[in-house]
Structure 1
Amino acid sequence: MSALQFHWFLPTNGGDGRQVVDGGHGVEAGDSSRPASVSYLGQVARAAEDNGFAAALTPTGAWCEDAWVTTAMLSQVSERLKFLVAFRPGVVSPYLAAQMAGTFQELSGGRLLLNVVTGGESHEQRMYGDFEDKDARYERCGEFLEIVRRLWTGETVDFSGKHLRVEGARLQQLPDPLPEIYFGGSSPAAGAVAAEHADVYLTWGEPPEAVAAKIAWIRELAASTGRERPIRFGLRVHVINRDSAAEAWAEADRLLAGIDEAAIDRVQAGLRRSESEGQRRMLALNGGTKRDLEIHPNLWAGVGLVRGGAGTALVGSHTEVADLIEQYHQVGVEEFVLSAYPHLEGTYWFGEGVLPELSRRGLWEHPSPRRRRPAAVPFTD
């Protein structure tokens, strides 16, 4: 089996803290919320870097700080960590996005990855001036990615599509290396775009058998396009790991106790209006109730009660979480985008607990191993 890659998450979506409801996704920040400042996010980025994470995902949306600006600043307070920048094709032109990628790679030393988010909510898209419907957004995204990839090869691009048009477009600064494209989506329209353009197909944390079915679906679509480059698969999920299973589930129970029933009703009502097929699948896993949230051994759906997007968490001892990661790997997942509450401490729980276990199994290697110095033992002479 190939080595796994692990990425972390930068909580620019309203704050971070010791509760699921400490800010972001329309939930009011609590008194203990940590702001999405350069100071705090820099701590998270450096902790992720030190613990062996390859990159950090920065989200996009009306409730987030801008991902491009934030990660550009954080690249200056970190050294190796790559940034998986989420952005929406509907709010930036393909030429400008291609140009920004070239600039980012040049000034950061090649530390950019791109998470292309088509946008699942029409009301939010309209805030950005985008009035296309969901299917049209995916059509436009396919055109966008075709233009961007052609620009990255140094081609002079003339393109006239259904949604986008450029003439005589040519980049002066080509990104080196080319940023890999991460892409997710559970609808037929999303699958078609992913199969043709994605380097990594991302899905949220459903049980392994459901993830296996998605992987088979995308592989079949990708084969039908005749693409030559392989497609990899990643999982976006939260994690709660501790020294023992009892400690981990006690932490999950603590997080659940901090979620108000009224907040569940309010957030669930909003999420049920989502146009996202992936969001519909997340809602089906938690059922809108605090009961029966372990939907697969060591997979917990409590986060999704008050959070849009990724709504499940790997929960258990370090060994149990490593076992579940190995299950996902066996069905084809090679990359994991993780987060925790709080994100700073979570990097250490996972980095010092689960990653060494996966290393012992030959499934992971630290991208920048620490130099081991012999310990000095005093008073032995």
Structure 2
Amino acid sequence: ALLPTGRTCDDSWIAASALIPVTQQMRFLIAIRPGLMSPTLTARMVASFDQYSNGRLLLNVVTGGDPVELAGDGLHLKHDERYDLTGEFLHIFRQILSGESVDFTGRYLQVQDARLFRPGVQKPHPELWFGGSSPAGHRIAAEHVDVSLTWGEPPQDVAAKIAEVKSLAAAAGRTLRFGLRVHIIVRETDQQAWQAADGLLKYVSDESIAAAQKTFSRFDSEGQRRMTRLHGGRRDRLEISPNLWAGVGLVRGGAGTALVGNPETVAARLLEYAALGIEAFILSGYPNLEEAYRVAELLFPLLPIDDQPKRATAAYVGPFGDSPVSPAWRG
């Protein structure tokens, strides 16, 4: 389950900790926040959660894209500076969790004899997931993370991102996997699915859309800029690629697109992304619980999902919201 992060959300670490004793299979994709958390304290939090959950932890590296919210949290760095800080953070963090004693002096961070006395379950550390669409973000993905994420852009744009990050990773002597974050609106027929999509905006006024777009315009996130470019703030051109609908992004920041259609159509679109190199899918819908059941009942039977995933590489989907899925595509 992907847990949200930010000032409008409950603390993701507290929320996920509360779910450990009432779940067995669910894995938790929880944000770590360079600039808001120290790498050494974060390493201890990660190791403890990994122990208590028996290795059910994944890490979502969030650099942040809203300067106003970040300023409220005490972080006043510019876009590329935040990514440089993220690089220093991950350099220290990964070494500590790998069992090393770390001495490091950077532009933003400095530690002496930083170490972890009680390691976690996963070696060398839980998987690092990260989304970044700017050149600085691609560099961080290539150099540090295990899974590079993108929001649901048209397939040709996703393919270009994958190629860019793969090239940078190869130059750094690394390989990594790729994931897609997208909403799902699936119904028994295409007509029903598109009616459901239109229904999400039925009572959303033009004034509400304009207010949301004004807020998003202050973001310095390249990913948010790309999401906004897909719809341009307009209601009349929301199918931006076959079955890819940008209506969510009119009022929601971040992941702003949904795959819309009958089960066969949506499955085919997901497989198209898989053919590009996407190995992990983070899926959600509105309302969360009802859409989770629809996806499980209508869509999952059509996908080659490994129902016995290895704990370190995949996750089950539960009724608690967004769920990272490594489907082990076969075919």
TM-score higher than 0.5: yes
Q: Note the C-alpha offset of 1:239.
A: 0.5
CA contact (8 A) 2:67 2:218 kept: no
CA contact (8 A) 1:240 1:340 kept: yes
- In structure 2, the residue matched to 1:367 is 308
- 4+ residue segments displaced more than 4 Å: none
Structure 1 residue 181 corresponds to structure 2 residue 152: no
- In structure 1, the residue matched to 2:156 is 209
Structure 1 residue 126 corresponds to structure 2 residue 71: yes
| Aligned partner (choices 201, 207, 220) of residue 256 of structure 1 | 201
SS at 1:236 equivalent: strand
SS at 1:334 equivalent: strand
CA distance in 1, matches of 2:150, 2:37: 24
Structure 1 residue 266 corresponds to structure 2 residue 211: yes
CA distance in 2, matches of 1:59, 1:329: 25
Q: Note the C-alpha offset of 1:337.
A: 0.5
CA contact (8 A) 2:104 2:110 kept: yes
CA distance in 2, matches of 1:225, 1:336: 25
- In structure 2, the residue matched to 1:114 is 59
Measured against aligned partners, the alpha-carbon deviations of 1:325-379 in whole angstroms (never above 9, x if no partner) come to 0110111111110111111111111111111101xxxx3122379xxxxxxxxxx
Measured against aligned partners, the alpha-carbon deviations of 1:303-327 in whole angstroms (never above 9, x if no partner) come to 0000000000010001100000011
- In structure 1, the residue matched to 2:262 is 317
- In structure 1, the residue matched to 2:312 is none
- In structure 2, the residue matched to 1:60 is 5
| Aligned partner (choices 42, 45, 50) of residue 105 of structure 1 | 50
CA contact (8 A) 1:60 1:88 kept: no
Q: How many residues end up aligned between the 2 structures? A: 308
CA distance in 2, matches of 1:130, 1:271: 19
CA contact (8 A) 1:322 1:354 kept: yes
Q: Note the C-alpha offset of 1:87.
A: 2.8
Structure 1 residues 205-244: aligned runs within 5 Å: 205-227=152-174, 230-244=175-189
CA distance in 2, matches of 1:142, 1:128: 20
Q: Note the C-alpha offset of 1:280.
A: 0.5
Structure 1 residue 286 corresponds to structure 2 residue 227: no
CA distance in 2, matches of 1:165, 1:352: 50
CA distance in 1, matches of 2:81, 2:252: 26
CA distance in 2, matches of 1:206, 1:165: 38
Measured against aligned partners, the alpha-carbon deviations of 1:13-59 in whole angstroms (never above 9, x if no partner) come to xxxxxxxxxxxxxxxxxxxxxxxxxxxxxxxxxxxxxxxxxxx1012
For the pair shown, the structure with the greater C-alpha radius of gyration is: 1
Measured against aligned partners, the alpha-carbon deviations of 1:221-248 in whole angstroms (never above 9, x if no partner) come to 1111122xx3000001111001111111
CA distance in 2, matches of 1:122, 1:287: 22
CA distance in 1, matches of 2:213, 2:143: 33
- In structure 1, the residue matched to 2:326 is none
- In structure 2, the residue matched to 1:12 is none
CA distance in 1, matches of 2:209, 2:273: 29
CA distance in 2, matches of 1:182, 1:258: 35
| Aligned partner (choices 194, 203, 213) of residue 141 of structure 2 | 194
| Structure 2, unaligned runs of 5 or more | 310-315, 317-331
**Normalised TM-score (structure 1):** 0.79
CA contact (8 A) 1:300 1:313 kept: yes
Structure 1 residue 170 corresponds to structure 2 residue 108: no
CA distance in 2, matches of 1:235, 1:215: 11
| Cα RMSD after superposing both structures | 1.1
- In structure 2, the residue matched to 1:13 is none
Measured against aligned partners, the alpha-carbon deviations of 1:280-301 in whole angstroms (never above 9, x if no partner) come to 1100111111112111111000
CA distance in 2, matches of 1:114, 1:82: 10
CA contact (8 A) 2:32 2:42 kept: no
